[in-house]
């Protein structure tokens, strides 16, 4: 295989990964790592570098629209980014002392968790009573809807903050956005309305990934020959995804993807235990 | 009521600004990476990829001075890497813009919060975590 064919196949694969990531809400990076390691037999460290860059691209691209529409809670994102960036830097340090096969196993477990999260019921309930902490930190806000702005309040800020730190560590260790954990922290603990939690999570992924990407860039994990087809492909796939998302019923698709991703995850865990990485 | 209006307006302005920063960053980095990528395929497309073993990237790809020197010699890989660096810088620049917005809004609490996030990232950049 020449570099030209490698690039073209990778470009197509990254496009599909970006499309799948966007339609399921998993993000582009998550599908890139198994694609690179299991299919292209690329070393997992290069895969992590490429996935981080892809996460920043899709996060920034889609966050730009949501922020402008005022759905994203910028203060909530900013506050929780303390947790995710500290976690991400810690994750990048832990990565040095973690054998690659262990990284692959942890990644597989995280992948299964993420897949199951996409099938979960959304939090449609909106709190009218928030905690004192939420008030002090000015986290209570509104989001736009066809019927005008909807006010919401939050609680369990400390619990959400702790889960965010774990999300940051996993992001730094595995090179993914760990959007699923971020949404879990916001939806389940802090009771952030679903539309706000997904867009705010997306908004935070860029900064979280950048915190560990600056370390990985210096460590030589980011190869231009892999990064460019991955970034362009994932970005294009995510754009297509966002365009067709409103027109199709994604429920069946989500189920198919979740099953496929679980099988991939089992494959990664199996290979990890057999020291194939 | 008037103060409320004013605060809403500046929050809205900040959202537009942040959205624009992210947009420009992604478009700029994507364009540079695409140009570099096409050029890279012309230069090295007939070679064989060797990503099965991790060797770490040479200094030219991991530092700004290395990337700059590579671009001067007309090496396409460094042009891609420049696009990557701009992409990584995009969310960081977004934080800096948020910082200024919070200063203009006189939101002291969020100026401090933003500064904490910024210092964590700067520590990550210059803290010698390369190992």
What is the 3 state secondary structure string of chain A? CCHHHHHHHHHHHHHHHHHHHHHHCCCHHHHHHHHHHHHCCCCHHHHHHHHHHHHHHHHHHHHHHHHHHCCCCHHHHHHHHHHHHHHHHHHHHHHHCCCHHHHHHHHHHHHHHHHHHHCCCCCCCCCCCCCHHHHHCCCCEEECCCCCCEEECCCCHHHHHHHHHHHHHHHHHHCCCCHHHHHHHHHHHCCCCHHHHHHHHHHHHHHHHHHHHHHHHHHCCCCHHHHHHHHHHHHHHHHHHHHHCCCCCHHHHHHHHHHHHHHHHHHHHHHHHCCCC
Q: What is the pLDDT of residues B59-96, one digit of tens each?
A: 667 888 888 888 888 888 899 999 999 999 999 999 99
CA B96, distance to chain mean position in Å, is 12
pLDDT tens-digit profile, chain A (277 residues): 888 999 999 999 999 888 888 777 777 777 889 889 988 899 999 999 999 999 999 888 888 888 888 889 999 999 999 999 999 999 999 998 999 999 999 999 998 988 888 777 776 778 888 888 888 899 999 888 888 888 999 999 999 999 999 999 999 999 888 888 888 888 888 999 888 888 898 889 999 999 999 999 999 999 999 999 999 999 898 888 878 877 777 777 778 888 888 898 999 999 999 987 7
Question: CB distance A224–B49 less than 8 Å?
Answer: no
In A, residues 165-224, which contact B (CB 8 Å cutoff)? Answer: 206-207, 209-215, 217-224
Contact partners, residue A189, CB within 8 Å, separation at least 6: A156, A159, A160, A163
Instruction: Answer for the pair B77, B36: CB distance below 8 angstroms, yes or no.
Output: yes
Chain A residue numbers with beta carbons less than 8 Å from the beta carbon of B12 are 70
Q: Does A246 touch chain B (CB under 8 A)?
A: no
In A, residues 27-56, which contact B (CB 8 Å cutoff)? Answer: 40-43, 45-46, 53, 56
**Closest CA in chain B for residue A81:** B117
The ipTM estimated for the assembled molecules is 0.90
* pTM of the predicted model as reported, rounded to 2 decimal places: 0.90
Question: CB distance B110–A92 less than 8 Å?
Answer: no
In this predicted structure, what is the pLDDT of residue B2?
A: 43
Q: Does B64 touch chain A (CB under 8 A)?
A: no
Residue B107 DSSP label: -
- Shortest distance, CA A187 to any CA of chain B (angstroms): 22
* Of the partner residues A7, A219, A231, the one whose CB lies closest to the CB of residue B130: A219
Q: What is the pLDDT of residues A3-32, one digit of tens each?
A: 899 999 999 999 988 888 877 777 777 788
Token pair 């774990």: residue: A166
- Shortest distance, CA B72 to any CA of chain A (angstroms): 17
- Shortest distance, CA A59 to any CA of chain B (angstroms): 9
Q: Does B96 touch chain A (CB under 8 A)?
A: no
Please give the C-alpha separations between residue A49 and each of A43, A57, A176, in angstroms, as whole numbers: 10, 13, 9
Token pair 């968790």: residue: A113
Question: CB distance A89–B123 less than 8 Å?
Answer: yes
Q: Does A86 touch chain B (CB under 8 A)?
A: yes
**Closest CA in chain B for residue A44:** B54
Q: Does B43 touch chain A (CB under 8 A)?
A: no
Q: Does B50 touch chain A (CB under 8 A)?
A: no
Please give the C-alpha separations between residue A253 and each of A13, A21, A24, A245, B78, in angstroms, as whole numbers: 18, 11, 8, 11, 39
Token pair 């005008």: residue: A148
Chain B residue numbers with beta carbons less than 8 Å from the beta carbon of A6 are 49
Contact partners, residue A203, CB within 8 Å, separation at least 6: A59, A63, A66, A67, A72, A74, A77
Is it the case that residue B3 has pLDDT exceeding 60?
Answer: no
| CA-based max dimension of chain B | 67
Give the angle A158-A160-A161 at the CA atoms, nearest 5°.
Answer: 65
Proportion of chain B in helix, strand, coil states, percent, rounded to 5: 80, 0, 20
Contact partners, residue A43, CB within 8 Å, separation at least 6: A37, A100, A277, B51, B52, B53, B54
Q: Helix, strand or coil for residue B102?
A: helix
Chain A residue numbers with beta carbons less than 8 Å from the beta carbon of B91 are 56, 59-60, 206-207, 209-210
In this predicted structure, what is the pLDDT of residue B13?
A: 85
**Among A224, A225, A232, A234, the residue to mutate for chain B (most B Cβ within 10 A):** A224
Chain B residue numbers with beta carbons less than 8 Å from the beta carbon of A231 are 29-30, 33, 83-84, 87
Chain B residue numbers with beta carbons less than 8 Å from the beta carbon of A224 are 36, 40, 61, 77-78, 80-81, 84
């Amino acid at each position: 295989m020449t570099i030209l064919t490698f690039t073209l196949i990778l470009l197509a694969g990254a496009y599909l990964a970006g499309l799948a990531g966007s339609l399921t809400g998993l993000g582009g990076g998550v599908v890139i790592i198994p694609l690179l390691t299991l299919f292209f037999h690329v070393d997992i460290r290069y895969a992590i570098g490429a996935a981080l860059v892809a996460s920043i691209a899709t996060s920034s691209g889609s966050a730009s629209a949501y922020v402008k529409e005022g759905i994203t809670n910028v203060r909530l994102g900013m506050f929780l980014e303390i947790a995710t960036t500290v976690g991400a830097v810690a994750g990048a340090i832990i990565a040095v002392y973690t054998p690659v096969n262990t990284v692959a196993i942890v990644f597989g477990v995280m992948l299964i968790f993420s897949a199951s999260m996409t099938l979960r019921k959304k939090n449609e309930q909106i709190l009218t009573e928030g905690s004192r902490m939420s008030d002090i930190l000015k986290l209570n806000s509104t989001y736009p809807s066809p019927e005008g702005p909807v006010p919401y309040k939050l609680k369990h800020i400390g619990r959400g903050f702790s889960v965010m730190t774990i999300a940051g560590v996993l992001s730094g260790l595995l090179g993914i956005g760990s959007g699923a954990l971020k949404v879990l922290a916001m939806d389940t603990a802090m009771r952030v309305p679903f539309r706000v939690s997904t867009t705010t999570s997306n908004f935070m992924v860029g900064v979280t990934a950048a915190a560990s990407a600056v370390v990985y860039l210096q460590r030589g994990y980011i190869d231009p020959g892999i990064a460019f087809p991955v970034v362009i492909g994932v970005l294009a796939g995510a754009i297509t995804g966002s365009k067709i998302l409103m027109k199709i019923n994604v429920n069946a698709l989500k189920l198919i993807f979740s099953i496929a991703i679980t099988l991939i995850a089992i494959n990664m865990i199996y290979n990890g235990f057999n020291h194939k990485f | 009521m008037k103060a409320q209006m004013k605060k809403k307006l500046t929050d809205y302005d900040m959202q537009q600004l942040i959205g624009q920063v992210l947009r420009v960053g992604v478009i700029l980095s994507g364009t540079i990476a695409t140009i570099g990528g096409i050029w890279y395929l012309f230069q090295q497309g007939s070679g064989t990829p060797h990503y099965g073993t991790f060797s770490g990237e040479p200094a030219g790809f991991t530092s700004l001075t290395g990337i700059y020197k590579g671009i001067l010699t007309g090496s396409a890989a460094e042009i891609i890497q420049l696009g990557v660096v701009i992409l990584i810088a995009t969310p960081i620049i977004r934080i800096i813009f948020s910082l200024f917005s919070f200063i203009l809004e006189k939101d002291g609490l969020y100026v401090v919060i933003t500064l904490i996030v910024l210092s964590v990232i700067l520590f990550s950049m210059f803290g010698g975590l390369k190992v």
